[in-house]
Amino acid sequence: MTSVRDTALSFLPEPRGEMSEAVVELLRRPQDSPVNLPVDAAADPFGEDLQLALHTCYELHYRGFETVAAGWEWNPDLLRFRATLEKPFLAALRDEVAGGSDIDAELDQLLVEPVESTGISHYLLDEGEWWQVREYFVHRSIYHHKEADPQAWVIPRLRGQAKASLVAVEFDEFGGGRGERVHAQLFADLLAGAGLDRGYLHYLDVVPAPMLVEVNMMSLFGLHRELRGALVGQFAEVEITSPTGSRRMVDALERFGADPACVRFYSEHVEADAVHEQVLRRDVIGTLLAEEPGLTESVVFGIQATNWVADRFADHVLEQHWRQGRTSLRREIASD
C-alpha cells in the first residue's frame, strides 16, 4: 500500500482570483525570480481568492509541490506577501468571537451536546444520502491529509508537562509508531473505501473556502509562536468534541453499509479522542496556563475561533447547499 504521505502535491491549484493566480504563476518560475504580487485590500478575508492564496503559501511549509522549487518556502518577499494575507484573516477571526478569559467555562461548554440535533453528523445519521457522505469526505480530506501536522509546530514552543502530554496525544495521532495507523493514512484508506481518490489534497480544486478557512487557521496558529495558546485551544476543541461526532459518523456509515475502512477511521477517533480530552484539558492546558497565565485569552480565542469556523462550514454545507438539493462543492464529483 502506498502511503498518503509519500509524495508532494503533484499540481498547483486552479486560481480563484487575482491574488491566488499571481501566487500560482510565481511558483511556476525559478526560485530567484522577482516577486511582485498584488494585494487586494478589499478582499473578503474568508473568500475564495485570499484563502486559496494563503493555502498555497502555507503548503510550501508542508509537503510542497512537485513542480515548485523548494527554496520558495523561505523567500522573504513571498513571506511578506503571506503576512499581508494573514493580518486581515486573523483580525476577521478575532472580530467574529467574543473572546474572554474564562477557560473553564469554555471547556465545560464543549462537553454539552445541544438540545436540538443539528450539525453535519446529525444530518448524515438521520436523513443524509450516500452522495452527501462522499462530499463530506471530500471536504474533510483537505483537513485530514494534514491531521495533527499543524499542531506539531507547537511542540518546541511548550515545555515540561504541557509539552510531554501534547506529544503523547500527537503520538497517537501519528499511529503510535505504526505507519498504517497514522490518522492521515486511515483517512486515505477511508477515501479509497468510499470510491474516492486517496491522493494527497487531490480534491483541493473542488473544495470551497469554508474548509480552507479551517485548515488555514491551524497553519496560521502553528507558524506563529505568539499564537501558540490559540493552537493549543484549537487542538483541545477538536479532541474534546470529536468522540460524540465520530460516534454518530460510525452509526451513519453502518446505516449505509459503508466499507470497513470508512467506519474504522471514525471508530478510531471515538476511542482515542475520549482519552485525549482529559490529557489536553488537565495536563496540557492546565499546566500551560499555570506556568503562563498570560496565554489564557489566547487559548480561549483558539477554542472560540475553532467553533466559529466549524459552524460556518456546517452552515455552508447544510443550509446553503444540501438542504437546497445542491452540491456543497465547487463542482460535482463523479459518482460510483
pLDDT digits (tens, 9 = 90+) for 46-64: 999 999 999 999 999 999 9
Domain ranges of the chain: 18-94, 101-324
| Residue 6 pLDDT grade (very low, low, confident, very high; cuts 50, 70, 90) | low
pLDDT at residue 305 above 80? yes
When pLDDT is averaged across residues 273-289 and rounded to a whole number, the result is 88
Global confidence as pTM: 0.94
Note the pLDDT of residue 116. Answer: 58
Note the pLDDT of residue 3. Answer: 47
Cell 486581515 sits at which residue?
Answer: 88
Collapse the DSSP code of 9 into the 3-class scheme (helix H, G, I; strand E, B; otherwise coil) and give the result: strand
| Residue 5 pLDDT grade (very low, low, confident, very high; cuts 50, 70, 90) | very low
Note the pLDDT of residue 118. Answer: 76
Q: How far apart are CA 135 and CA 327, in angstroms?
A: 8
pLDDT at residue 98 above 50? yes
Residue type, 147: E
When pLDDT is averaged across residues 210-237 and rounded to a whole number, the result is 97
Q: List the grid coordinates of 310.
A: 466549524
Beta bridge partners of 65: 9
Collapse the DSSP code of 65 into the 3-class scheme (helix H, G, I; strand E, B; otherwise coil) and give the result: strand
| Residue 117 pLDDT grade (very low, low, confident, very high; cuts 50, 70, 90) | low
The third-level CATH classification (topology) of the domain covering 101-324 is: Heme Oxygenase; Chain A (1.20.910)
The angle subtended at Cα 112 by Cα 110 and Cα 114, nearest 5°, is: 115
Task: Render pLDDT for 245-262 as a digit per residue (tens, 0 to 9).
Answer: 999 999 999 999 999 999
pLDDT at residue 276 above 90? no
When pLDDT is averaged across residues 304-324 and rounded to a whole number, the result is 97
